Amino acid sequence: MPAMPRLALLASPTDRAQEAEAALIASHEWVPLEDAEIVVVLGGDGFMLQTLHHMLDTGRVIPAYGLNLGTVGFLMNRHKATRPIAERVAKARGVAVAPLWMEAVTQTGERYSSWAINEVSLLRETRQTAKLEVSVNGKVRMPELSCDGVLVATPAGSTAYNLSANGPILPLGSAMLALTPISPFRPRRWRGAILPESCEILFRSLEAAKRPVSVVADQKEVRDISEVRVSAARDHRLTLLFDKGKSLDERIFAEQFLV
C-alpha cells in the first residue's frame, strides 16, 4: 500500500474556516507547507486563488484540495465530516489548470507582472469609455475597441467574470482562451473570440491620458496602463484535486445547462 502523501493545512481567517481548521488539526498529522506534497485549503474560491498565487510566486507548486467554507466554492469540494480527510484526499482526482502570465507597462514606463488563474481584465477608470488596440501574435486584429473593458479568461475562469460578461464557457482541456469585451460600444456587435492558449495577446491603451485604463490579474490591480501583454503559462500548470464525480470539468459542463 503506497504511503500517504504529506499534507499541509491552510485556512482563511473567516470564523467558519477557523472552526473547521480547529476540528481537523487533531484528525491528521500535518506538516508545514514547505514540506508538504499536497495542501488542504479551507475557505472560499478567493482564498484558494490566494494560495495558488502564493505557490506560483514562491516557485513551489503542489496539488491543492479545497474544502468550501466560503460562498460559491467553484474551485472547492463540499465540506463534510463523514470521511477522514486523508481518505478523501487519497481518492481525489486531479485537474490541471494553466494560469495566465500578465505583463503591464504604465503610462510612466513602470513595469508590473503577475499570474492570473481566472482572468486578466482591462477596465476603464473614469466615466469615459476605454479605447484599446487588440493584437494577437503580433498582428493587430482590432485597431480600435471602444468599451468598458475587455478580459482574457482561462477555462477554469470562464464561468466567473467572463460568463457574467456574456463570454463563452470553455471546457477544461480545450487549450483555449476566451477574449471577451465588457459592454462594447464600437464595434457594437463584436462578442469576442476564442483563441488557442498558445496565443499571445497585446492590448494598447489609446488616448491613455484622457481615457485611463487599469488592469486586474485575478486580485492584483495596476492603474494607468499603457499596454498589457497576456499569455498562457503552459509550463506552470497547477493541479486542483476534486472528489470523484465532482470534478471541475463536470461543474463547467453543468454550468452550460443552467437557466
**How many alpha carbons fall within 13 Å on the CB side of residue 228?**
32
Residue 113 known to bind ligand: no
Residue 137 known to bind ligand: no
Residue 118 known to bind ligand: yes
Residue 243 known to bind ligand: no
* Measured CA distances, 18 to 25, 26, 234 (Å): 11, 13, 34
Active site residue 45: yes
Residue 164 known to bind ligand: yes
Per the residue annotation, which of 45, 218, 235, 243 is the catalytic one? Answer: 45
Residue 11 known to bind ligand: no
Q: Cite the beta strand spans of the chain per DSSP E.
A: 7-11, 38-43, 64-68, 93-97, 100-106, 111-116, 119-124, 130-136, 139-153, 176-186, 193-196, 200-206, 213-217, 220-222, 225-232, 238-242
Three cell numbers written together for 220: 492584483
The single residue listed with the C-alpha cell 492590448 is: 203
CA distance 67 to 7: 14
Residue 162 known to bind ligand: yes
**How many alpha carbons fall within 13 Å on the CB side of residue 259?**
0
What percentage of the chain's residues is helix, strand, coil (to nearest 5)? 20, 40, 40
Residue numbering of the annotated binding site for NAD(+): 45-46, 118-119, 148, 156, 159-164
Enzyme catalytic residues:
45
Residue numbering of the annotated binding site: 45-46, 118-119, 148, 156, 159-164
